[in-house]
């Protein structure tokens, strides 16, 4: 046997860098780009009664667990009325994964549209306005029932793991849902809420000041009506509520979340065969969570009102009144463009506050909007809210908030999704 005299060379398989850092400090321009990466402003056709709406999503989780929808759909008229086009906006804040919030983005409006068409084609003693609200409620519950029933069927049929998981992953995850539907014909705005995402209306009063009108109520145990409902549905279960949670869940309504809805029998099969977690010992009479929405109805004043819909990533940093005032300041800036960044209050840099009585980590995780932190520099009203939730005028804190990457970023900030809707004609603003 002859051997080749050609030398064998090996490729370089590794490079060594003693200065490698997995997290790179963001310059202000990089932080700005990250904040605005998923922003959009849309001007719908004039006849839809909305001059403009602004949207932004700022992920923290990877993949992000927040999702959203916006657009318009045509529905039939009620008992001889002409068909009409309605606008919709949805914010879906997922937990235990992204799967359920994505399902809502893909499917919820299909369910709602189908129920609306069915309601208007069926003779009923209900008024058309009552029929719309009822159809929204039915659509929410039907979608969740379909998801949960498909998962349970997969478990009972003992499907192979890969096949069963295509249905079960939706039940392992969960999501809040916030859906706003506006009918420009009647100027009626409906908001359907499941969970603790929140919608508020900002309304300019005659004296020029802004009034905050709640369009939804957070569905958690701080909400007395939710706590009373749970106790009435599950009497004599003292261990159901602990540490202000429902068997470990901070919200009282959600899509998905089979661990709070399935029977103990189904949950045990899921654990034994499909890697689910063990049933909770205090789970005696499920379901404990529901996807039945609370639907509000409000008459909008075009040209005077705007709506904010947002996941709790925003509301963890500001209250409803602050959000409305922030959008009010944004509108004032648009009408008086001479106001500049230089006019903003100066906030002491984050690094100068290190060593104060409050530990730095607490300063960041517990940080909330306050008067000295407010800044108005964005062309997009939703981005304006997100910026002020992430440090505002304190550029060092703002950069720091956005420098954190998943998974650790979730300890600092949640996914933030915001939609701001301005009602009225474009000639009137914003």
The DSSP line for 42-86 is E---GGGSEEEEEEEEE--SSS-SEEEEEEEEEEPPSTTPPPEEE
Given this model, what pLDDT does residue 345 score?
45
Compute CA distances 264 → 175, 246, 257, 259, whole Å.
22, 16, 14, 9
Contacts with 131 (C-beta within 8 Å, 6 or more apart), sequence order: 78, 119, 120, 124
DSSP 204: E
∠81-86-92 over CA atoms, to 5°? Answer: 140
**Residue labelled with tokens 């908030």:** 401
Residue 270, SS3 per DSSP = helix
Q: CA nearest 385: which of 340, 301, 320, 332?
A: 320
Burial of residue 49 (CB within 10 Å: 0-12, 13-18, 19+) is buried
Q: Taking the CB of residue 8, how many other CB atoms lie within 10 A of it?
A: 5
Q: Are 59 and 415 in contact (CB under 8 A)?
A: yes
DSSP 260: G
**Residue labelled with tokens 């933030």:** 416
Instruction: State the maximum Cα–Cα separation within the chain, in Å, rounded to a whole number.
Output: 100
Given this model, what pLDDT does residue 27 score?
92
Given this model, what pLDDT does residue 77 score?
72
The backbone torsions φ and ψ at residue 81, rounded to the nearest 5 degrees and listed phi first, read -70, 155
Q: Taking the CB of residue 322, how many other CB atoms lie within 10 A of it?
A: 20
Q: CA nearest 185: which of 38, 1, 339, 48?
A: 48
Distance CA 430, CA 419 (A): 15
Per-residue pLDDT reduced to its tens digit, 244-258: 999 999 999 999 999
Provide the H-helix boundaries in 175-285: 224-233, 264-274
Q: Are 374 and 388 in contact (CB under 8 A)?
A: yes
Given this model, what pLDDT does residue 314 score?
98
Which positions of the chain have pLDDT values less than 50? 340-346, 354
Given this model, what pLDDT does residue 226 score?
97
Q: Are 391 and 397 in contact (CB under 8 A)?
A: yes
Instruction: Please indicate, yes or no, whether the overall pTM of this predicted structure exceeds 0.85.
Output: yes
Distance CA 392, CA 375 (A): 6
Compute CA distances 77 → 11, 119, 137, 325, whole Å.
71, 10, 19, 37
CB-side neighbour CA atoms (13 Å) of 356: 13
Distance CA 41, CA 36 (A): 11
∠186-188-193 over CA atoms, to 5°? Answer: 155
List the structure tokens of 79.
Answer: 């008992």
């Amino acid at each position: 046997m002859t051997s080749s005299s050609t030398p064998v060379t090996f490729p370089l398989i590794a490079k060594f860098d003693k200065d490698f850092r997995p997290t790179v400090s963001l310059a202000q321009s990089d932080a700005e780009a990250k904040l605005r990466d998923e922003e959009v402003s849309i001007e719908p056709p004039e006849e839809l009664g909305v001059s403009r709406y602004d949207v932004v999503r700022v992920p923290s989780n990877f993949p992000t667990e927040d999702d959203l929808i916006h657009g318009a759909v045509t529905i039939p008229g009620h008992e001889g009325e002409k068909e009409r086009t309605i606008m919709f906006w949805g914010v879906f804040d997922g937990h235990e994964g992204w799967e359920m919030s994505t399902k809502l983005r893909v499917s919820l409006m299909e369910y709602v549209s189908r129920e609306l068409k069915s309601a208007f084609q069926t003779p009923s003693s209900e008024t058309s306005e009552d029929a719309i609200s009822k159809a929204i409620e039915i659509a929410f519950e039907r979608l969740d029932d379909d998801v949960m029933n498909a998962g349970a069927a997969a478990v009972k049929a003992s499907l192979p793991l890969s096949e069963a998981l295509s249905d079960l992953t939706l039940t392992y995850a969960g999501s809040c849902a916030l859906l706003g539907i506006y009918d420009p014909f009647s100027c009626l705005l409906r908001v359907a809420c499941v969970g603790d995402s929140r919608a508020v209306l900002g309304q300019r009063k005659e004296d020029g000041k802004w009034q905050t009108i709640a369009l939804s109520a957070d569905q958690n145990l701080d909400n007395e009506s939710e706590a009373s409902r749970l106790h009435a549905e599950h009497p004599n279960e003292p261990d159901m509520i602990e540490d202000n949670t429902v068997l470990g869940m901070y919200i009282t309504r959600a899509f998905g979340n089979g661990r709070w809805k399935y029977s103990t029998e189904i949950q045990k099969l899921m654990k034994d065969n499909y890697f689910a977690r063990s049933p909770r010992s205090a789970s005696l009479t499920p379901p404990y969570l529901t996807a039945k929405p609370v639907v509000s109805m409000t008459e909008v004043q075009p040209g005077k009102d705007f709506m904010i819909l947002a996941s709790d990533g925003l509301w963890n940093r500001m209250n409803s009144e602050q959000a409305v005032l922030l959008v009010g300041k944004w509108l004032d800036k648009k009408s008086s463009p001479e106001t500049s960044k230089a006019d903003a209050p100066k906030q002491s840099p984050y690094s100068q506050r290190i060593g104060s009585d409050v530990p730095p980590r607490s300063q960041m995780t517990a940080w909330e909007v306050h008067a000295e932190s407010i800044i108005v520099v964005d062309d997009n009203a939703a981005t304006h809210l997100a910026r002020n939730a992430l440090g505002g005028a304190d550029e060092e804190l703002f950069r720091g908030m956005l420098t954190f990457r998943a998974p650790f970023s979730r300890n600092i900030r949640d996914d933030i999704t915001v939609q701001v809707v301005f009602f009225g004609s474009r000639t009137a603003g914003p």
